[in-house]
Amino acid sequence: MLAIIGGTGLTQLANLEITHRQVIRSPFGEPSGAITFGRLRQHEVMFIARHGYGHTIPPHEVNYRANLWALHEQGAKRVISVAAVGGIRADLSPGTIVLPDQIIDYTSGRSFTYFDGRESPVTHIDFTQPYSQKLRQQILQAAKLAKVQCLDGGVYAVTQGPRLETAAEINRLERDGADMVGMTGMPEASLAKELGLDYAAIAVVVNHAAGRGSSRNGVHLETISAVAQPAMANVRSILECVVESDDN
Ligand code: HPA
């Protein structure tokens, strides 16, 4: 089954016909909320709001391990993560939808692995390609069908938050090769990989990164939701086409 993790601006799927909600307990603590089960264009999907349904859990306090574990335990095979980001690359202006293909992790102090038990053997995962290429292609195809522009590829820098970055930090991220910056891409992506899930992210640019474009003198946080709303409507259209396009 397909699971969707909604981020800022997507705490629920308006087009989801809800069948039930399920509270899941995980060995890693509480997920961000109950998992919502429902049908999207007649296809069964599950949904969880990363920051909680009331948007109260900040990025560094999201229990990524519990969320991914719960989705996996409920039978998710594929996970599409939706995340709001700031645009660093010049063409990533507010309202743009982009499918990142790489990640640089700048987070710290988060619980980032399932493989930390003393009793189990040391386990490494290959993370050369952090996202499922197959799922990325399905999303790109779905975006075409939905007639929604979706840029293919970009490096997602994941910062610790909850504060935004300084202009100098954004310059450094750009020198590192980052195209966009957000706070929730990790450890979500590597945990999904540890569980063997097919995982991809749809990033929605909700502001120019600090010091760039309209954020030259500061990021206007009050404009973010006005940008996110129409863009998330486009994301919903893409998701409908993703579930239509295959066996789910
Ligand atoms: N920086 C970090 N995270 C973000 C941003 C940003 O500019 N916009 C949305 N999430």
Pick from 186, 217, 178, 152: nearest CA to 64? 186
For 178-201, the pLDDT digits (tens) are 999 999 999 999 999 999 999 999
The pLDDT score that the predictor gives to residue 131 is: 98
Q: What are the backbone angles phi and psi of residue 36, rounded to the nearest 5°?
A: -95, 125
Residue 158: predicted pLDDT:
98
Looking at residue 14, its pLDDT comes to 83
Mean pLDDT calculated for residue range 72-101: 97
**135 lies in which domain range?**
2-245
| Span 101-118, pLDDT tens digits | 999 999 999 999 999 877
The count of structural domains within the chain is 1
Between the CA of 24 and the centroid of ligand 1 the distance, in Å, is: 29
Distance of CA 108 to the CA centre of its chain: 18
Residue whose CA is at the smallest distance from ligand 1 atom 7: 86
In the reported structure, the alpha carbon of residue 96 is separated from the centroid of ligand 1 by a whole-number distance in angstroms of 14
- Taking the centre of ligand 1 as the mean of its atom positions, its distance from the CA of residue 84, in whole angstroms, is 7
B/e letters for 14-41, b = 16+ CB within 10 Å, e = fewer, are eebeeeeeeebebebeebbbbbbbbebe
What are the pLDDT digits (tens) for 187-242? 999 999 999 999 999 999 999 999 999 999 999 999 898 999 999 999 999 999 99
CATH code where residue 228 lies: 3.40.50.1580
Q: Which residues does ligand 1 sit against, CB inside 6 Å? A: 84-86, 159, 164-165, 181-183, 206-207, 209, 219
pTM to 2 decimal places: 0.96
Q: What is the mean pLDDT of the chain?
A: 95
Position 247 confidence tier, pLDDT thresholds 50, 70, 90 = low
44-56 average pLDDT score: 93
Pocket test for ligand 1, best of 88, 106, 164 (most atoms within 8 A of CB): 164
| Of 80, 62, 58, the residue nearest 71 (C-alpha) | 80
DSSP class of residue 115 equals -
